[in-house]
Amino acid sequence: MTKSGLGPAGGGSPQLDGLLDVPGLLALVGQPDVCILDCRYDLLRAELGLEQYRQAHIPGAFFAHLDRDLSGVKDGGNGRHPLPEPQALVTRLRSWGVRSTTRVIAYDASESSFAARAWWLLRWLGHERVAVLDGGWPAWLAAGGPTSTREPVAEPGDIVRRPALQATVSLESVVALVQAAQSQSRPQGSAAAAGPARRIVDARAPDRYEGRNETVDPVAGHIPGAVNRFWKLNLDERGRFKTPEQLHAEYAAILAGLPADVLVLQCGSGVTACHDLLALHLARLPGAALFPGSWSQWVADPSRPVALGPAPG
């Protein structure tokens, strides 16, 4: 796989395969059937990304707001950034001109933490031709890429929902997983017959995972049994994704010989967990699932157990 993501895919046709570099996007700006999404956002200032977009953005880019476009309606128990209703997301993508053949490229200014959510959502809808701009807006500016203040208007697209390319795990399934692990109710040897147990991976920073610092959600700590893989570990010192080989080796250490489809990824609200899922995709470790509600949904019910401190071992 090339880091530009423009190498041949199945059937020999060019594909964007998860990651696109700045030269790759420069070649696509202004081309037909290409949709660029500006996903800049700030958790503490929700409208900052839109303000920045209006000041300057990659030519032809549409603004995708995390709260309004890339998330659904909160009900107090489904987390801070619940998944959007699929048809509502399809309608929004159509308004940006996205068709079944469109190449979609997402970028942000936060080390791809929000762009990865857009990448995951497109694949959740079954759209394969989607990538994240490696290095995002800072890399674009550093390379002297052109900018614009013009907000584009697109001919309506015709994207439809297809079989999902990314899996989800429900709150009920995570509750059952934690309860089973805590009760240790399986007879000796039954796990082998049932297949390997799911493994929860928390993408938040270690201080939040351990419960030492929590400034976003009302309860500190982590889901019992979850291991920690901070999403920023997917990046090198420049803020670009590590090579597929590096990512494969690092996630293989977490998997310890198990297939990637045992992994359940979560974070605070189901956003930065998508960064880990993109890294797994780049590492050619398919099948991991997202717990969309993540920690913010888990702690919405005070009866659910909470763990503190580092992971054992």
Which residues are known catalytic residues? 267
How much of the chain is in helix, strand and coil states, percent to nearest 5?
A: 30, 15, 55
The burial class, CB within 10 Å (0-12 / 13-18 / 19+), for 129 is buried
Sequence-distant (≥ 6) Cβ neighbours of residue 26 within 8 angstroms: 143, 145
Give 8's DSSP letter. Answer: B
Q: How far is CA 143 from the centre of its chain?
A: 25
C-alpha separations of 209 from 228, 265, 310 in Å:
7, 13, 8
- State CA 139 to chain mean position distance: 20
Give the pairing of strands 263-266 and 199-202.
Answer: parallel
18 - beta bridge partners?
A: 131
CA-based nearest residue to 158, from 104, 95, 106: 95
Cα–Cα distance for residue pair 83/91, rounded to 1 Å: 15
Give me the amino acid identity at 179: Q
